[in-house]
Amino acid sequence: MHTRIWPYPFKSHAVIHHGLFRSGPTYFLPSGRNYDNIRFAWWNAPLIIGLHAPVLLWIGWVLETNIFFGGMAALGLYYFLYEYLHFCMHVPKGRWLERSAWFSWLDAHHHQHHERHFKNLNVVLPLADLIFGTLIRGNRRIPRPLRA
């Protein structure tokens, strides 16, 4: 979503989303604005998850075990977590989750992504950032009074 390989994800994420949601106070949805540019389009979930189906079938065939349904469930859960956590980060409302240490860490991690677009690419599971060398310390979470 940060390279021009596929125009749609690049435009909707790197250009539009990062154009509206930067770092600092502009990291949050301004009051009166709609939620359209926080979440993916409705059709992205079935497309993204569906594109992984052949890979799961192939892995199951290679391993001679049925991982398809568990893999699809894991992909669905991951997609839901991405959408919900990302929404909570940009539209804070004092939810119980937002007060947890885990969410605070993820939110600071994601805020750093909005400062440096090619770092901290993974919102839900930053392990991928560690593996691919894109992880930077997310220690600049915006203070609570500025988040409301």
For residue 53, the enclosing domain spans 7-23+35-147
Question: What is the value of pTM for the model shown?
Answer: 0.85
Q: Is 108 within the bounds of a domain?
A: yes
Matching residue, tokens 């991405």? 82
28 falls within a domain: no
Domain-embedded: residue 74: yes
The burial of 57, by beta-carbon neighbours within 10 Å (0-12 exposed, 13-18 middle, 19 or more buried), is given as: middle
The number of distinct structural domains making up the chain is: 1
**Residue 98 lies inside a defined structural domain of this protein:** yes
Q: What is the pLDDT along the chain (148 residues), one digit of tens a residue?
A: 777 787 777 788 777 788 788 887 788 887 767 777 788 888 989 999 999 999 999 999 999 999 999 999 999 999 999 999 999 999 888 899 999 999 988 998 888 888 887 888 888 888 989 999 999 887 666 654 455 4
Q: What is the pLDDT of residue 81?
A: 95
In a domain, 29, yes or no: no
Residue carrying the six token digits 């391993």: 63
CA distance 36 to 50: 23
In a domain, 101, yes or no: yes
Q: Is residue 134 part of a domain?
A: yes
- Confidence at residue 148, expressed as pLDDT on a 0 to 100 scale: 47
- Residues ≥6 apart with Cβ < 8 Å to 22: 114
